[in-house]
Amino acid sequence: MSNRFSFTAFRRFGTFANTVRHPKRHPLTKRIHKLFDESSVLFDRKNQDYAKETDPFHNVRSANSWGVDPWVGVMIRLEDKVHRLHTFAKKKKLNNESAQDSLRDISVYALIALALYEEQSRGENEQTYARHTRRRGR
């Protein structure tokens, strides 16, 4: 069996990680891959509350109105989560959200920031996304 990526396998199993066999994967590595999958679901679920049909990152692009690049705006939100965890480390207690929730949010924010940074580096923006979705008939 080839370890080459297969789009059919991707569609069937849902993630690239599930298309490659790792019979001797360490239990913590298995857990990390499960967390990647859970983070993907978390992103999709939360994104429904924030996205516009023409732009999945509409809410974080609003940083532009403050003169801040969207990926930097996401990093500011990420930093808020880090501060929350810093409080947790000192006081051993959080009032509104668990430490696990903050850690999950940080992982998703980091990936959102990366995607927006890559988009900015390529010179794309939400108009590019809107044209793309119109072409695909969404």
Q: What is the pLDDT of residues 83-126, one digit of tens each?
A: 999 999 999 999 999 999 999 999 999 999 999 999 999 887 65
Contact 29, 20 (CB under 8 A): no
Contact 112, 78 (CB under 8 A): no
Q: What is the pTM of this model?
A: 0.71
Q: What is the pLDDT of residues 34-80, one digit of tens each?
A: 999 999 998 999 888 888 888 888 889 999 999 999 999 999 999 99
Q: How far apart are CA 24 and CA 36, in angstroms?
A: 19
SS3 132: helix
Residue 57: name the closest of 131, 138, 127 by CA.
Answer: 127
Domain boundaries, the chain: 25-136
Residue 59: name the closest of 50, 67, 68 by CA.
Answer: 50
